[in-house]
Amino acid sequence: MSHEELADRLGVYRETVSTALRELKEAHAIQIGRKHIVIRQPGLLQQLAQTGGKTGLHRREY
């Protein structure tokens, strides 16, 4: 499923989906492949869902 298709199903902009997926990937909660998403850390993903995305993790600056 593309970012556009996912956005359409969720009723949000594609950019919102792209940003959220990038943040989840950077937190190592998911892995993104061509047309699929692998949940790497279900517990972390659940924590993010329950806390509105707040993990207590600090982003690394590049």
Using one digit for the tens of pLDDT, what is the confidence trace for 43-53?
A: 998 988 888 77
Tell whether 58 is covered by a domain.
Answer: no
Tell whether 33 is covered by a domain.
Answer: yes
Per-residue confidence band for 59, with pLDDT thresholds at 50, 70 and 90: very low
Q: How many structural domains does the chain have?
A: 1
47/8 Cα distance (integer angstroms): 25
- Give the CA distances from residue 51 to residues 16, 37, 42, in Å, rounded to whole numbers and listed in that order: 18, 21, 14
Please report the pLDDT score of residue 54 as a whole number.
Answer: 62
Task: Match 């919102």 to its residue by tokens.
Answer: 16
Identify the sign of the CA torsion 39, 43, 47, 50.
Answer: positive
Q: Which domain holds residue 43?
A: 3-50
Considering the entire predicted model, what is its pTM? 0.73
**Mean predicted lDDT score pLDDT of the chain:** 84
